[in-house]
Structure 1
Amino acid sequence: MVDYLRYYFNTLLVLTAIFGFYLGGQWVWLGASTYLVLLALDLLLPNDYKNRKINHPLLVDFSLYLHVVLMLVMYGMFAWRMKQGFPPATSYNLALLGSFASLVWISAVPNLPIAHELMHRRSAVERFLANIAATFFFDPHRAIGHVHTHHLYFDTEKDSDTPLRGEKFYEFIWRATKGAYLDTFELEKRRMAAKNKSVWGPSSIVFWGIVAVFGTPLAIGLYAGWLAGVITLSVMVTTKFLLEALNYLQHYGLQRDTNQPIEDRHTWHHFSTMSRIAGLEITNHIDHHRDGFLPFYKLKVHKDAPEMPSVFICAPAAFIPWVWDNLIVKPRLKKWDLEYASPEERKLARKANLRAGWPDWIGESQSVTVQHHRASVWD
């Protein structure tokens, strides 16, 4: 039963935000405050290396469908609160900031992982629900570039969702955002050209994507006032940049020889308990790259795969380049290069380290090996 209920924790996160908007005042911070709860639980609970046992998939899939409905309710409740106003004693600007923070946080986590899961489903209804969820991070057709580019080229320079070694988070989010939009546009443009139709016409998903991302804040603005609409648009754009943090954490600096099979080493893994729950197993997802249609609850734990700390530690660390580089990623990439990488990937990694201006630990290791070999010969 616990294996089923754990995924409804994400439902509780959205309900908390909804309740905060219902109460008004500084209670609007409730949604954002769940980050601290997740962080505390992730630090207190042991890592989770268990595989899930789900015999009745609909019971966990229902949480995904319910989530999309609750996201609509949450934004509706925010609009209602903005229309109703805040009590006179409330610090208005602080309440607006709390509303913004709660909407951004919930639109990112757990919304992104759930949207990601739904966009990989075979059902047209589930993919439509993914488009609704993805609208709240300003990218309703994220699935197109994600499936047709990222899943083909991850861990290579062809993939805009794979951060390069030495690439700062603030540089990456712009490149990844641009790449995601261009992938969608170019693929849809080719599809429309084959039908002799314009990519800007009503038959194109590009057209409907624009309608969705601008129609949402427009609708809220017409109901609750221009400020509510501006906040909504700002939330969606901000969340779009923040969601790229997940790609930053999952694939940073990794190298892959595309002529070889996908192996456990080709994604970073976060096995902390709350990372797996709030991330809907996306933090344990190398099997997802082997089979994109595999449901989240069937992803297996590979304990020997390269591991990162909790997502709730890595995400804020990414905003501080020195901390990310020196305390999080460089030590782990050094281990990855020397212990996990194939010979061809080690060559790619060495070039990447040199381009980034990082220490040449691969060359140093090879030099030590040669010296040991020579010493053993003379002995």
Structure 2
Amino acid sequence: MNAGDTQVWQDKKRYLWLLGLIAPTALFIALPIIAGMNRLGWHVAAQLPFWIGPILIYVLLPALDLHFGADGQNAPDEVMAALENDRYYRYCTYAYIPCQYASLVLGAYLFTATDLSWLGVEGSLSWFAKIGLALSVGALGGVGINTAHELGHKKVRLERWLSKITLAQTGYGHFYVEHNRGHHVRVATPEDPASGRFGESFWRFFPRSVIGGVRSAWELETARLHRLDKGPWRMSNDVLNAWLMSVVLFGALIAAFGPAVIPFLVIQAVYGFSLLESVNYIEHYGLLRRTRANGRYERCTPEHSWNSDHIVTNLFLYHLQRHSDHHANPTRRYQTLRSMSESPNLPSGYASLIGLTYLPPLWRRLMDHRVLAHYGGDITRVNIAPRRRAEILARHGAAEPAAA
């Protein structure tokens, strides 16, 4: 940003974006704490820091969101171009990737090591510590999917490849295709596997989104290659080459640490992409784009995504919670995304809500009335789970709307 711009407006979060590196370095931060606790003889308590990832997601970030509240700062129009082109912000996302992979390798070592005397541990880790370790590495992998999301939307070829590299840890390389060319086209419609439906629990959404996302990515990439008169079984297939990165990565870790690392790899990958799917479920829950007279859906607008301006989780997720602006402007870089007043707003940040998605009665009590309020009480305008549609319409005294 040039000097003239900074005299008018300052990004108060400019250096706070580096807090996003806490997630991929948390394991390194935890090690001296673990060693110190073991030296004090607190061997049982010393296993808890291995759970730093879940603790960060389910406890620390929600508490900080509650304390610091909403951000309230949007960049003015006159500085948008300079802010967008400031390379400092993209370097903040690039830095995530080496930290992510360093923690993955460290986690694989700790999970399989039989002599951790330097850490004050006799022999290998307990299974309680190992599970916490795998979930913590999975947490940084899940946040890494968000980093890949930021990079994958950009036109710079390097950033697109970095997106695939980041996704390799969780084996979710197909997200690169499905999210950009599938979800952004079908968002907030019954056809989108990644849009949560009113009355649908997270546990029904999860397999639907995972399986639907894989199927959608393969179909989209097969269709792209077909238009080029090419078959799908080639390295230019962006689903296959992204998956191959995971195969090479996992193969290298198994070769380095032995088959004992396989449970670690599976746990961290599944937990990592489950966090993504929790966020997918939250982002568009119950929201629906209208069908026009010509049978097409209306253009996606800020009212079709749930927004949250809670500053702490936004710093960790590169403004992902300003999701309404993201869908309106998919290629806009995270530092320029705005919190939009016309979008429906969540009661807190994603970190506070992820845990609630696991508990359907609490989730529905928190969100269903907000969905209805957004549509002025008209249940027929809501994206309802098909298997519960008749029941939900009847409960609200509504009839099935006539076809357009």
TM-score, structure 2 length as denominator?
0.80
Q: 1:20, 1:31 within 8 Å by CA — same for their partners in 2?
A: no
Q: 2:307, 2:339 within 8 Å by CA — same for their partners in 1?
A: no
Q: Mark the runs of 5 or more structure 2 residues left unpaired by the alignment.
A: 1-10, 36-45, 293-297, 399-404
Do structure 1's residue 244 and structure 2's residue 273 form an aligned pair? no
Q: Mark the runs of 5 or more structure 1 residues left unpaired by the alignment.
A: 365-379
Do structure 1's residue 46 and structure 2's residue 85 form an aligned pair? no
Do structure 1's residue 264 and structure 2's residue 302 form an aligned pair? yes
Do structure 1's residue 324 and structure 2's residue 357 form an aligned pair? no
SS state at 1:3 partner: coil
Do structure 1's residue 315 and structure 2's residue 349 form an aligned pair? no
Change (3 A) 1:167 1:356: farther
Identity across aligned pairs (percent)?
21
Change (3 A) 1:206 1:284: closer
CA distance in structure 2 between the aligned counterparts of 1:148 and 1:213, rounded to whole angstroms? 21
Change (3 A) 1:335 1:95: same
2:225: which partner in 1?
A: 192
Number of positions where the alignment pairs a residue of Structure 1 with one of Structure 2: 357
Deviation at 1:90, TM superposition (A): 6.8
CA distance in structure 1 between the aligned counterparts of 2:385 and 2:244, rounded to whole angstroms? 41
1:56-99 deviation line (CA, Å, top 9, x unaligned): 62112111000011111111222333454432177511220121
Change (3 A) 1:204 1:74: same
Among 79, 85, 92, the alignment partner of 2:126 is: 92
Amino acid paired to 2:223: R
1:375: which partner in 2?
A: none
Change (3 A) 1:149 1:258: farther
Amino acid paired to 1:29: W
Among 180, 183, 186, the alignment partner of 2:213 is: 180
Among 298, 302, 316, the alignment partner of 2:336 is: 298
Change (3 A) 1:123 1:284: same
1:28: which partner in 2?
A: 50
Deviation at 1:336, TM superposition (A): 0.9
Change (3 A) 1:257 1:221: same
CA distance in structure 2 between the aligned counterparts of 1:333 and 1:360, rounded to whole angstroms? 17
Q: 1:174, 1:241 within 8 Å by CA — same for their partners in 2?
A: no
Amino acid paired to 1:33: I
- Please, which moves more after superposition, 95-104 or 17-26? 17-26
Summarize the alignment of residues 1-379 of structure 1 with structure 2, pairs less than 5 Å apart.
Answer: 2-20=12-30, 26=47, 27-35=49-57, 36-52=59-75, 55=83, 57-85=86-114, 86=116, 87-88=121-122, 92-109=126-143, 111-195=144-228, 197-257=230-290, 259=292, 260-310=298-348, 311-326=350-365, 328-338=366-376, 347-349=380-382, 355=389, 357-358=391-392
CA distance in structure 2 between the aligned counterparts of 1:247 and 1:33, rounded to whole angstroms? 21
Deviation at 1:275, TM superposition (A): 2.5
Amino acid paired to 1:332: R
Q: 2:61, 2:352 within 8 Å by CA — same for their partners in 1?
A: no
1:239-272 deviation line (CA, Å, top 9, x unaligned): 2233111111010010112543433311111221
1:118-160 deviation line (CA, Å, top 9, x unaligned): 0001011001111111122221131211122211111111111
| Structure with the higher helix share, 1 or 2 | 1
Amino acid paired to 1:66: A
Deviation at 1:359, TM superposition (A): 6.3
CA distance in structure 2 between the aligned counterparts of 1:39 and 1:120, rounded to whole angstroms? 28
1:323-370 deviation line (CA, Å, top 9, x unaligned): 0011x111101201207x8xxxx6433976971633668758xxxxxx
SS state at 1:358 partner: helix
Amino acid paired to 1:101: L
CA distance in structure 2 between the aligned counterparts of 1:266 and 1:350, rounded to whole angstroms? 11
Amino acid paired to 1:301: S
Q: 2:326, 2:337 within 8 Å by CA — same for their partners in 1?
A: yes
